[in-house]
Amino acid sequence: MAYQALLGVGVAMRLSITTGTSDHSGIGSEPVLTREARPVLLPPVVPVPPQWLAETVDATTDMALWQLLILMCVALPIGTSVGSARYANAGAGGYALAIVVGLVVGMGFGWTMWKTHKPVVNKLQWLPSSGTSLARQEWYFRAFYLAKMLWTGFAGFLGFWLSSAILRVAF
């Protein structure tokens, strides 16, 4: 019986592990694992034309990271709200109410994050581009993304706290 695995991308190694028996001991056959690695050339990945990528994703902005942060900002309050329902030992109705509360909080915080991104980024990109100013611009962007992460954490806290309060009142 042989097991094979490809390790890597491009030039890869094919690792083959074969099981069999050996009769070298003189008393009987023993199970033996044979490992063999051979280089293999995998077909190249087809490059994506940059124009197609720019049209599809709007690559002129940093939307990939930004969309991930917004998704986290929407999902975190939902998760903490479900955690609040689990902590309160709520039934199916309590879980449904907690999910609705988390969704409302997450959508509100995510919408706010979405609306503030473009004006702040545009303002930061208009800073002068001298050597010290580039360092300051980089520092501003780091602080901006840290503020987004703190905003996401606050959204999660508010989702937990609000769903806990509503579950205590409703159930």
- DSSP state letters, 33-93: EEEEEEEEEPPPPPPPPHHHHHHHH-TTS-HHHHHHHHHHHHHHHHHHHHHHHHHTT--HH
Mean pLDDT of 23-44: 61
Name the nearest CA neighbour of 162 among 91, 78, 56, 93. 78
Tens of pLDDT, residues 47-92: 555 554 445 545 455 567 888 999 999 999 999 999 999 999 999 9
Tell me the pLDDT of the chain averaged across its residues.
78
pLDDT at residue 135 greater than cutoff 50: yes
pLDDT value for 47: 56
Mean pLDDT of 92-109: 96
- Whether this model's pTM surpasses 0.85: no
pLDDT value for 10: 47
Strand 30-41 with 2-7, pairing: unpaired
Q: What are phi and psi of 36, to 5 degrees?
A: -140, 135
Mean pLDDT of 156-171: 95
Q: By mean pLDDT, which of 30-44, 70-84, 103-117 is the weakest?
A: 30-44
Largest CA distance in the chain: 83
Residue type, 3: Y
CA atoms in the 13 A half-sphere facing the CB of 136 = 10
